[in-house]
Structure 1
Amino acid sequence: MTKMNPLALAIILCTMVSSHCIIIHPKSNANLIQQTCKQTPNYANCIHYLKSDPRSSDADVTGLALIMVDIIKSKANTALNKINQLIKGSHDQKEALNSCAGRYRAILVADVPKSVAALKQGDPKFAEDGANDVAIEATTCENGFKGKSPISDENIDMHDVAVITAAIVKQLL
C-alpha cells in the first residue's frame, strides 16, 4: 500500500466536502424560497420572481425581501417610463397620468429607499409599511382613471409584487 502525501489528501478531502456543500446548498435554499412563498398571497408569482433572480440561491429571508424590493423598483421605473411616454402623446387622461407619475416617483424616491434601509438595518416594520404603501399607490393610480386605465397591467403587477413583498417582510417581524 502506498502512502499518500498529507497535502494531497487534504486537498482531495476539501474538494469532496466543497463539492458536496455546493450540491446541498441550493436544495436547502429552494426549500426556504418555497416556505417563504407559501406565506404570501400569490405563491406562483413569488416563486417566479425569486427564482428568476440569481441572488436568491444563497439569500436568507431578508435577502429575498430585498430582491422583491428591487423588483418593485424595476417595475416602478418601467411604469413611470410608460406614463411619461403617454403624457407626451395626445392622451385625453393627462391629469390621471400626471397623478400616477407622482405616485410612481414617490415609490422610487420614498418607499423603495425606506424599505431597503429598514431591511438592511434590521427594522422590517418600516419595510412592510413601505411595501404596503406601494400597493396603495398602485391601486390609487388605477382608480384615478375614468374608464380603462392605459397602465392597468403595470398597476396590477405593481400591486401584486408589493403585497408579496409585504408578506415576505412580515415573516421577519
Structure 2
Amino acid sequence: MSSSSPFLLLFLLSIALHFHQPLVIVSGDTDLIQRTCKCTKYYDLCVSSLKSNPTSPKADTKSLAMIMAGVGIANATATASFLSSKVLNIGNDTSMRKAIIKDCADKYSYAVNALQSSIQDLIAEANDYAYMHVMAAADYPNACHNGFKRFPGLAYPPELVAREDGLKHICDVVLSIINLLGW
C-alpha cells in the first residue's frame, strides 16, 4: 500500500459525506429502527409501528419503508371499510352526503392502491416512483375532505379527522424512510 492511500481513502470518504450518500446499514442491526425513526417527523409513530412488526428487527432500511407502507395500507383499508359501512348505515340522510361518503371510501381505496404500488416500486428499486405513489396516497384524504367543503351544509365527519391525520402521518414516515434510501 502506498503512502498516498490513506489520503485517497480520506478524500473519497469526504466526497461521500459531502454528497450525502444513501444510508446503508447491515441487516440485523438492532438500532436501525431507532436511527431510522429519528430521521422522521413522527418518531413515536414510526417506532411503535415498526416494533409491532415481527420482521422489523432483521429488516434493512428498504424493508422498513415497505413495512411502514403496509401500516398505511392497513390504515387506509380500515378507513375505506369504515366509510363503506357508514354509507350503508345512513338512513334518511341526503343522497348528496351518501355520494360524498362513497367518494371518500373510493379515495381511501385509491390510497391503498398507491401504497401497494409504492411497495412494488421499492422492490424494483424505483425509489422515485415509490416516493410519488406515497405522496399520492397522502393526498387522497385531502380530496375526501375537499368533497365536504364543496357543500357547506355537510359537515366533515369528526371521526374522519383522526383517520385522515393518521394516514398522512404514516405516509410522511414512509417518505422520510424513502429519502434515506437515496434516489
Q: Same fold (TM over 0.5)?
A: yes
Q: Does 1:101 align with 2:116?
A: no
Q: Which runs of 4+ in 1 moved over 6 A?
A: none
Taking the TM superposition and a 5 Å limit, the aligned residue runs for 1:51-90 are: 51-90=51-90
Q: Aligned residue pairs: how many?
A: 146
Partner of 2:175: 166
How far did 1:113 drift?
2.6
Q: Report the structure, 1 or 2, having the larger helix content.
A: 1
Q: Aligned residues: percent identity?
A: 24
Considering only CA atoms, is the larger Rg found in Structure 1 or Structure 2?
1
Report the Cα distance in structure 2 between the residues aligned to 1:108 and 1:131, rounded to whole angstroms: 10
Q: Which range moves more in the overlay, 89-98 or 130-139?
A: 89-98
How far did 1:152 drift?
1.9
How far did 1:131 drift?
1.1
SS in 2 for 1:151: helix
How far did 1:139 drift?
2.5
Report the Cα distance in structure 1 between the residues aligned to 2:69 and 2:43, rounded to whole angstroms: 17
Listed one character per residue, the Cα deviations across residues 77-103 of structure 1 (whole Å, up to 9, x for unaligned) are 100110001100125522321221121
Correspondent of 1:144 among 140, 144, 147: 147
Give the alignment's Cα RMSD to 1 decimal: 1.7
Partners of 2:69 and 2:116 within 8 A in 1? no
Taking the TM superposition and a 5 Å limit, the aligned residue runs for 1:33-48 are: 33-48=33-48
5+ residue gaps, structure 2, are 1-26, 149-153
5+ residue gaps, structure 1, are 1-24
Correspondent of 1:135 among 138, 147, 153: 138
